[in-house]
Amino acid sequence: MTSPQQHQRPDLLDTDAVLERVAARLADKFAGTFNTETVQRYVFESYVALYRTASVRHHLTALAENFAADRLIALAQARGELAKPVPEVLFLCVANTGRSQMAAALLAHRAAGRVHVRSAGSLPGHDVEPPAVEAMREVGIDIAEAYPKPLTDDVLRAADVIITMGCGDACPVLPGKRYLDWPIADPAGATLSAVRAIRDDIDARVQLLITELTTEGTTR
Amino acid sequence: MTSPQQHQRPDLLDTDAVLERVAARLADKFAGTFNTETVQRYVFESYVALYRTASVRHHLTALAENFAADRLIALAQARGELAKPVPEVLFLCVANTGRSQMAAALLAHRAAGRVHVRSAGSLPGHDVEPPAVEAMREVGIDIAEAYPKPLTDDVLRAADVIITMGCGDACPVLPGKRYLDWPIADPAGATLSAVRAIRDDIDARVQLLITELTTEGTTR
């Protein structure tokens, strides 16, 4: 505990104990659906996956718990062991720091429970971009606590509709799912006023999508 | 099977069947160490993790089998369920397309069985860079078949020595391991002659490392 290197970097001596408690809690929550080994692997791998790209690591065990729990829910949904009462939409972009975060938040907000939303990135970035946070705040939606997540097999399989934005074919095509590609400008490095236009472009598409998903029952 | 989209992209209808067979094969191989659910998750998540960033996807199920099998071996080693007859060294850089691939190949070649080597990236790139492949070919080492892999919890825990090259603190600090940071120039976009100098810099360090690991028994 006293080497210089361990002073410079977060130490997993304590983190491991926290992650073990997280795993025990989730194993309890998912008892009957997933065995302890699966839950443990989800927690520890989710932690390292977020650690690789996160710029701030203070709340990383909490984020790893959140991410692992959501992935386990997705896997249970994909296997038909957990009901999907509403359509599941997955937004994908490269970094999961701008477009896909705004789209997920706008859809969740506008759908108000009629659709469930996830987002991920093919090459997750460090943080949600401040102009995106600010542009969303202007319309009363808080994404300051959102965090970039890598695309995983579980959330892909849980989705009914997969919407890509600028990440090309970064996700495999699965049967029985609907794929859409939205040509949305990249907010990375853009001015706040440009990000507002991107937000409004996404918002218009999101509102059309809700109408479609809730009136046609296309995905169920 | 006939929608335009499914013609444009690799189709998981067939891929899923291949991955199921891979999972069955590995479940058999790791019977008594890991349960089927764990092995299946490793195979499917490894596939999507490689798919996200791979530029060529022809052999991706084979690479996913290779990656999943190696990760399961690492996990068994980390848990003490599989012996580590020689020190395990993990090289990390950002993209796992240049430095860490050259270092891993040089160490494996020079150590000739006295050390076992893995490599990974904090933000894996698309392909191992052609000048790196060429510079290694000049010294009789073929890395044309190497592929970029994201850092995962299992390989991190299996390592005795973790060597970072330009990726800062992209990996959590675990107790009982040795961390080294090698200040190696980045071969990305460099000329072949610059990559040769990088190769030779890595090679000199690798040879010192072997002497250290095989004479001191520092990691065992």
> pLDDT (tens digit, 9 = 90+) per residue, B129-183?
999 999 999 999 999 999 999 999 999 999 999 999 988 888 888 888 999 999 9
User: CA A219, A220, B4, B5 torsion: positive or negative?
Assistant: positive
- The enclosing H or E element of A179 equals strand A178-181
Q: Map chain B to HEC letters.
A: CCCHHHHHCCEHHHHHHHHHHHHHHHHHHCCCCCCHHHHHHHHHHHHHHHHHHCCCCCCHHHHHHHHHHHHHHHHHHHCCCCCCCCCEEEEEECCCCCHHHHHHHHHHHHHCCCCEEEEEECCCCCCCCHHHHHHHHCCCCCCCCCCCCECCHHHHHHCCEEEECCCCCCCCECCCCEEEECCCCCCCCCCHHHHHHHHHHHHHHHHHHHHHHHHHCCCC
Residue range of the domain that includes B66:
10-83
Chain mean position to CA B199: 18
A 181-220: CB under 8 A from B: none
Tell me the percentage of chain B whose pLDDT exceeds 90.
82
Final residue before a domain boundary, out of B50, B83, B116:
B83
Residue B1 located in a structural domain:
no
* Chain B residues close to A55, C-beta within 8 Å: none
Residues A170 and A77 in one domain: no
The residue-averaged pLDDT of A90-97 equals 96
* Whether B167 is catalytic: yes
Pick from B19, B45, B90, B154 the residue to mutate for testing the A interface (most A CBs within 10 Å).
B45
Average pLDDT in chain A: 91
* Chain A residues close to B75, C-beta within 8 Å: 41
Tens of pLDDT, residue by residue over A165-198, are: 988 888 888 888 999 999 999 999 999 999 999 9
Q: Where are the alpha helices (DSSP H) in A178-217?
A: 192-216
pLDDT class of B11 with cuts at 50, 70, 90: low
User: What is the predicted pLDDT for the residue at A216?
Assistant: 66
Residues B41 and B138 in one domain: no
User: CA A31, A32, A38, A42 torsion: positive or negative?
Assistant: negative
Instruction: Residue A100: give its domain's CATH number.
Output: 3.40.50.2300
Residues A195 and A118 in one domain: yes
Residues B110 and B148 in one domain: yes
C-beta contacts of B180-188 below 8 A and 24+ residues apart? B182/B103, B184/B99, B184/B103, B186/B98, B186/B99, B187/B98, B187/B99, B187/B102, B187/B129, B187/B131, B187/B132, B188/B95, B188/B97, B188/B98, B188/B129
DSSP A16-76: HHHHHHHHHHHHHHTTTTS-HHHHHHHHHHHHHHHHHH-S--TTHHHHHHHHHHHHHHHHH
* Number of Cα atoms under 13 Å in the Cβ half of residue B34: 31
Residues A144 and A160 in one domain: yes
Residues A21 and A37 in one domain: yes
* Whether A151 is catalytic: no
Residues A141 and A74 in one domain: no
Note whether B122 contacts A: Cβ–Cβ < 8 A: yes
Final residue before a domain boundary, out of A83, A106, A133:
A83
Q: Are B47 and B123 in contact (CB under 8 A)?
A: no
Residues A92 and A165 in one domain: yes
Residue B90 carries which side chain, given as an amino acid letter? L
Residues B35 and B89 in one domain: no
- Catalytic one of A75, A94, A167, A195: A167
Residues B104 and B70 in one domain: no
Note whether A18 contacts B: Cβ–Cβ < 8 A: no
- Does residue A180 sit in helix, strand or coil? strand
Final residue before a domain boundary, out of B49, B83, B117:
B83
pLDDT class of A57 with cuts at 50, 70, 90: confident
Sort residue B166 into left (φ over 0), alpha (ψ -120 to 50) or beta: left
Distance CA A135, CA B162 (A): 41
Residue B150 located in a structural domain:
yes
The pairing of strands A178-181 and B88-93 is unpaired
Residues A70 and A92 in one domain: no
Q: In what order do the strands lie in the sheet with A116-121?
A: A116-121, A88-93, A161-164, A178-181
Q: Are A68 and A26 in contact (CB under 8 A)?
A: yes
Least confident of A5-9, B19-23, B109-113: A5-9
Listed in sequence order, the residues at least 6 apart from A105 whose beta carbon sits closer than 8 Å to its beta carbon are A136, A141, A143, A146
Q: How many domains does one find in chain B?
A: 2
Instruction: Residue B57: give its domain's CATH number.
Output: 1.10.8.1060
**pTM (predicted TM-score):** 0.91
Cβ within 8 Å, pair A52-B153: no
Residue B2 located in a structural domain:
no
Residues B145 and B185 in one domain: yes
Residue B4 located in a structural domain:
no
Q: Where are the alpha helices (DSSP H) in A117-172?
A: 130-137, 153-158
B 65-94: CB under 8 A from A: 75
* Whether A171 is catalytic: yes
